[in-house]
Structure 1
Amino acid sequence: MIFRERALSKAVDRLERALEEQDEVLLNEAFHALSGAIQDAKPASRVEAGPRMAALLPRVPMGAEGILAVMVGACVEHGADPQACSEPILAGVGEAMRDVMEFPALWEDTVGGELPERNHLVLGEVVERIAAIGGMDARKFGAVSAWMQLPLWEMAGVAVLLHAGVRRAAQADGTLVALVEEAARGDADLKCLRYLLKMFEDEPLVVLHRPSGTGYRVRVTRIGDNFQLHTLLAHLLVGGGHIAGDAPSAEVVAAYRDAVPDGQPQATGVFNLCAADGSWIWNEGCPADIPLVDGERLLVLDPPTYGRTWNAGRFYPALPGDLTLEAVLTRADTEAYLAKTGPTRAWPDAA
C-alpha cells in the first residue's frame, strides 16, 4: 500500500529527470507512469503532485503539454491548490488559442477538405500529412498541436477556473476573455471555457415581465447558462407569487442551486427571454449574453412561443449558483424601463 501511495510522487520525479536529461524514452515512461498513478493516488498525493507537475508544464515538449495539463487539472479537482497550478495552465490555454486560429488556413493550404477531428492521439498522423505536402516547422507544429490538443487545454482550464480567485484574476486581466471569444468565432466552440470566463459572481439584473407590466431587480451569482437563469427566474417570480404561472418544483430548483439531482427532474419553459431590442436570449447561452442598456443589464420576459422542457442540472455541477430578488420595481420605474424596449421579434433572426 505504501508503494502505491508513493507511486505518483515517484512518477513526477521521473518526469523531472526526463526533462532535465531531455530523454525521450524516459519521458514517455514518465507519462505512462503518471497516468496510472494519478488514478490510484490518494487525495494527499494529488495535492502534493499538482503544483509540482504544473511547474513542469513550460518545459514539456510541444505536443505533450496538453496531456500533462489535464493531469494537473485532475489533481486540482481532488484538492491541489488551484492558485499554485493556474498560471502555467492558463498560459498554455492562451498560447493554444492563439496557435489554433492558424490551423484552418494551414490545413486548407496543404491537405485541404474537411478539418480533422480534434484528437491528441492522432497528432503525429496529422503532422505527417501536412509535412508531406508543405513541410513542417515550429510554427506549423504549434498550430497542429493546438488544434489536436484544444479539448485537453479546455478541460485543464476549466478545472482551475472553477475556483473563484483564479476566475476573478483571469476576468480582471481580460486576455483570456478576449482570446476565447476570438478563437470561438472559428471552428472551436470552447463553450465550457467561454461561459466560465464570462461568469458573474454578483451581477445586478433588471427583469421586466411584459405580460403583467411588472419589473424586478435581481442579482446573478455563479449561473452557468440561461437554462439555469430561466428556471430560477420562474422560481422567484412565479413561485414567489409575483406573476401567474406554473412554478418549477422544489427538486428542480435545488438542482439549479446546489443539489445533485436524483435522476433527471424536468424543468419547463415559462418565458421567452429577450433583450431590450426584441432579439431572443437563448437558453443555451449564458447571462453575459444579456446586453447592457444605459449601463444596466436589461432582460425582458415574454410568453413562451412554444412548449419546451429540459433536464434540470447546473452547467457546472461543481459550482453552486443562485438568483436573488432584491426589489420589486414601482409601476413608474417599470414603465420607464419598458419604454426602452422594442417589440419581441416573431423569430430570433427576424429584423
Structure 2
Amino acid sequence: MTGGNDQFMDAVADFERAVHADESADMAQAHGMLRQLIGDANPAALTQAGPRLAAVLEDVPLGGRADIAVMIGYCVEVGADPVSCAPPVLTNLAQVLDGAMELIEQASAIVDLELPAPEDIEEGSELLEVMFESFGPSATLSWLTLSPCVTASLSMLQRKAVRQGLGPIRELLTQRYQAYLEASGANGKDIDYALLVLDDEPLIVLDRDTGTGYRLRMSGIADNFQLQTLLGDALIGGGHLAGEPPSAEAVAVSRDSDGRVPTVCSFKFHAPDGTRIWNEGTPSDIPVVDGARVLVLDEIPYPHHFPALRYFPSMLAELELDRALSPTECATWFAHVGPAER
C-alpha cells in the first residue's frame, strides 16, 4: 500500500508540474493517474494532496477542473485541511455558475430549444459539437460541469471553519445560485441550503406555557426538524421542560452520527409576531430581535413523526444551552411576543 501512496503522490507532483508548465498532454496523463490511484491512497497521502491540488486548481483548464475539484473534496472528506482547500473550489463554483447562466440565457433566446440533462449528453456527440459552436466552450463546459462543482463545494461548506471564513463569496454564491435556479427551473436545497446554515448563532427560546426562557447557541443545523430534536434534548432531556425527550439515538444522528432514527416533534415553533416557523424551513427563518434569534415554543397539538438525521451528512451540529433566563429577562423578551396565529 505504501508503494501505491508513493505512486499517488508522484502523480500529484507530475500534475503540479504539468499545470505550471501548461503542458496539456502531460497534464492529461497525470490527471488520468490521479483518477486511477486516488481510490487506494491512504488518509495521510490524501491529507497532503488536497491543499496541493487546490493550489493549482485555478490554472487547470475548465474541462478538467471539475474533476480535480471533486478529488479535492474527497481529500477534505478524508481529512485534508478544508480551510486551505475551500477558496479555489468555491471561487471556481462562482465562475462556473456565471458560465452556466450565460448558456441558459443564450439558449432561452432560441425558440423550441430544450436542453437535455448534462449527464445525458455523450462525449463527442453531435449535440455537444453544436453547443460548443453555438454557446462557446466556456459557457458549455460550465453548464456541463456544474453538478460536480456543486458536489465539491458541498464538501467544503459542510465544515464549520469554512463557513465561518466565507466572507464576500457567501453573498456572491447565494446570488448566482439563486439566479441559476430561477433561470433553469432546477430544484435547489444543496448549495443554497448550505449557505443558510448559521454558526455560533445566539438563540433565545421562550416557552409560552411556562413563561420560561433560555439562551442557547447553535451551529451547523441545516433544518428545523434537526433543531426540533436537539432542542427537545436540551430542554426536555435537560429537565427544564416537561415532556418526552428524543431518544439518545435520535439526538446522536442529529448531531454527529450516521444514519436516521424515527422520532417525534417536541414543540410547535412560532416567531415572536405569532407566525409559524415551519419544520421544513431552516433556523435562518427565526427572526432576529435585539441581536438574537427569538423562537417561541408552543405545545404540539398532535404527534408529528419524522426521521431524525442530518441533511448534510458531514456537517456536525451543535446546540449548547448557555443558561436559563431570569424572570426579569423572561419578562423583557416576552414583551416582544404576540399571540400565535391559528
- Output the amino acid matched with 1:241: G
**1:111-140, CA deviations, whole angstroms, 9 ceiling, x for partnerless residues?**
6555543439757656434356xx233xxx
Q: Kindly state the Cα deviation for residue 20 of structure 1 after the two structures are TM-superposed.
A: 5.5
Q: Which residue of 2 aligns with 1:149?
A: 145
Range that drifts further, 207-216 or 243-252: 207-216
Q: Kindly state the Cα deviation for residue 235 of structure 1 after the two structures are TM-superposed.
A: 1.5
Q: Kindly state the Cα deviation for residue 255 of structure 1 after the two structures are TM-superposed.
A: 2.2
Range that drifts further, 181-190 or 151-160: 181-190
- The verdict on how the C-alpha distance between 1:40 and 1:294 changes in structure 2, with shifts beyond 3 A counting, is same
**Counterparts of 1:111 and 1:44, CA distance in 2:** 53
- Output the amino acid matched with 2:270: C
Note if contact 1:276-1:341 (Cα within 8 Å) is conserved in structure 2: yes
Note if contact 1:123-1:148 (Cα within 8 Å) is conserved in structure 2: no
Given candidates 162, 165, 168, the residue that maps to 2:161 is 165
Q: Which residue of 2 aligns with 1:183?
A: 177
- The verdict on how the C-alpha distance between 1:240 and 1:20 changes in structure 2, with shifts beyond 3 A counting, is closer
- Output the amino acid matched with 2:131: I
Is residue 174 of structure 1 aligned with residue 168 of structure 2?
A: yes
Q: Kindly state the Cα deviation for residue 3 of structure 1 after the two structures are TM-superposed.
A: 3.9
- The verdict on how the C-alpha distance between 1:105 and 1:124 changes in structure 2, with shifts beyond 3 A counting, is farther
Task: Report SS of the residue matched to 2:294.
Answer: strand
Q: 1:111-260 counterparts in 2 under 5 A?
A: 112=112, 116-119=116-119, 122=122, 127-131=128-132, 135-137=134-136, 141-170=137-166, 173-187=167-181, 191-260=189-258
Task: Report SS of the residue matched to 2:150.
Answer: helix
**Counterparts of 1:230 and 1:77, CA distance in 2:** 27
- The verdict on how the C-alpha distance between 1:61 and 1:318 changes in structure 2, with shifts beyond 3 A counting, is same
Q: Which residue of 1 aligns with 2:89?
A: 89
Q: 1:35-54 counterparts in 2 under 5 A?
A: 35-54=35-54
- The verdict on how the C-alpha distance between 1:21 and 1:186 changes in structure 2, with shifts beyond 3 A counting, is closer
Note if contact 1:256-1:312 (Cα within 8 Å) is conserved in structure 2: yes
Q: Kindly state the Cα deviation for residue 287 of structure 1 after the two structures are TM-superposed.
A: 1.7
Task: Report SS of the residue matched to 1:160.
Answer: helix
Given candidates 265, 288, 293, the residue that maps to 1:297 is 293
- Output the amino acid matched with 1:56: V
**Counterparts of 1:265 and 1:166, CA distance in 2:** 28
Q: Which residue of 2 aligns with 1:70?
A: 70
Is residue 270 of structure 1 aligned with residue 266 of structure 2?
A: yes
Aligned length: 337
Range that drifts further, 189-198 or 236-245: 189-198
- Output the amino acid matched with 1:82: P
Note if contact 1:123-1:144 (Cα within 8 Å) is conserved in structure 2: no
- The verdict on how the C-alpha distance between 1:244 and 1:329 changes in structure 2, with shifts beyond 3 A counting, is same
Task: Report SS of the residue matched to 2:66.
Answer: helix
- The verdict on how the C-alpha distance between 1:325 and 1:17 changes in structure 2, with shifts beyond 3 A counting, is closer
Note if contact 1:82-1:160 (Cα within 8 Å) is conserved in structure 2: yes
Q: Which residue of 2 aligns with 1:8?
A: 8
Q: 1:20-31 counterparts in 2 under 5 A?
A: 24-31=24-31
**1:207-229, CA deviations, whole angstroms, 9 ceiling, x for partnerless residues?**
12223333222221332322221
Q: Which residue of 2 aligns with 1:59?
A: 59
**Counterparts of 1:255 and 1:63, CA distance in 2:** 38
Note if contact 1:5-1:45 (Cα within 8 Å) is conserved in structure 2: yes
Q: Kindly state the Cα deviation for residue 185 of structure 1 after the two structures are TM-superposed.
A: 4.9
Unmatched segments (≥5 aa) in structure 1: 347-351
**Counterparts of 2:327 and 2:113, CA distance in 1:** 58
**Counterparts of 1:174 and 1:92, CA distance in 2:** 15
Note if contact 1:104-1:115 (Cα within 8 Å) is conserved in structure 2: no
TM-score (norm 1): 0.82
Q: 1:301-320 counterparts in 2 under 5 A?
A: 301-304=297-300, 307-320=303-316
- Output the amino acid matched with 1:175: I
**Counterparts of 2:115 and 2:275, CA distance in 1:** 32
- The verdict on how the C-alpha distance between 1:307 and 1:108 changes in structure 2, with shifts beyond 3 A counting, is farther
**1:68-107, CA deviations, whole angstroms, 9 ceiling, x for partnerless residues?**
1011111222232333322321221222233333343222
**Counterparts of 2:332 and 2:265, CA distance in 1:** 27
- The verdict on how the C-alpha distance between 1:241 and 1:4 changes in structure 2, with shifts beyond 3 A counting, is closer
**Counterparts of 2:124 and 2:163, CA distance in 1:** 33
Note if contact 2:225-2:280 (Cα within 8 Å) is conserved in structure 1: yes
Note if contact 2:177-2:191 (Cα within 8 Å) is conserved in structure 1: no
- Output the amino acid matched with 1:284: E
